[in-house]
Amino acid sequence: MTYREICESFKKVNIENARGEAELLISEIMGEFSEDRDYQDERLCDAVRRRCEGYPLQYIIGKWWFARCELEVSEECLVPRPDTESIVEEAVKLLPRNARFADLCTGSGCIAISIADLRADTSGVAVELYPRTLELAKRNAERNKVADRLEFIEGDVLLGDALGEERFSAIISNPPYIRSDVIDTLSREVRHEPRVALDGGADGLIFYRAIVEKYQQNLTDDGYFIFEIGYDQAEEIKEIAEENGFLCQVKKDLGGNDRVAVLRRK
């Protein structure tokens, strides 16, 4: 199987970045890349077939890149998205020196790990409901040499007691925020990701409501909630902030969509 043949197969099934994906798949599976070589390898053929069936590239190669970190990814976690780097940037800017932060719904750990990586003076706590996902996040922290500054806690964020009594300079979260009725309309790649990582309930907002209501006592007086939000959720987040006595600033991602909400007490 040649690079060209793989590109053709990917284009036929409308994979947007066919060339980039073909190159990455060959490099990762064969450990080298040549445009001309005819790779006769069962693992590569199998990977191309699975990718053409809509299985995410990131799960096939078992890793992905986020900010400055390389992370293990699998079906246990959402694939870290470039848009999510916007909340990391915001946190890195806002956290005071030697700050403690919390990352709720940590998944692969991408947010907590990149903040710890970019701000060596900070330390934090990362919470996740699913033990296998939490184990993956811990491995990612070790892989990126920040495990000594992060604590991983298994817990249900919705119950409101995941952070105990501690107060943090920022509580950061990219929670599940897709409306339940929208999930089945998403791309076939996204439908291979854990539904529990996507489903934000009937209106997509259950996690934001629960986090703002139940964890405000875990913020320092001048602390921040920093959330990733859906492109169409800015007004609803502002309402939740208002109802709880917080000011809300919404920022855009690189694509120009509303993506980050920063909440601060009035």
Ligand X SMILES: C[S@@+](CC[C@H](N)C(=O)[O-])C[C@H]1O[C@@H](n2cnc3c(N)ncnc32)[C@H](O)[C@@H]1O
| Residues engaged in binding ligand X (CB under 6 A) | 77-78, 80, 84, 105-108, 110-111, 127-130, 133, 156-158, 174-176, 194, 196-197
CB of 179 to ligand X, least distance (A): 13
- What is the three-class DSSP state of 82? helix
Nearer to ligand X, 1 or 147 (CB): 147
CB of 258 to ligand X, least distance (A): 17
Tokens of 67: 């900010």
Nearer to ligand X, 7 or 109 (CB): 109
Tokens of 168: 């943090």
Nearer to ligand X, 10 or 66 (CB): 66
CB of 136 to ligand X, least distance (A): 9
Tokens of 11: 């284009």
227 burial via Cβ count (<10 Å: 0-12, 13-18, 19+)? buried
Query: What gap in Å lies between CA 141 and CA 148, rounded to an integer?
Result: 9
Nearer to ligand X, 18 or 230 (CB): 230
In Å, how far are 102, 144, 145, 151, 238 from 138, measured between CA atoms? 15, 10, 10, 9, 33
Nearer to ligand X, 143 or 265 (CB): 143
In Å, how far are 10, 76, 83, 109, 157 from 88, measured between CA atoms? 32, 22, 10, 12, 20
Answer for the pair 126, 261: CB distance below 8 angstroms, yes or no. Answer: no
CB of 177 to ligand X, least distance (A): 7
Query: What gap in Å lies between CA 49 and CA 1, rounded to an integer?
Result: 12
Helix, strand, coil shares, percent, the chain, to 5: 45, 20, 35
When CB distances to ligand X are compared, the closest residue is 107
Nearer to ligand X, 186 or 247 (CB): 186
CB of 227 to ligand X, least distance (A): 11
CB of 76 to ligand X, least distance (A): 8
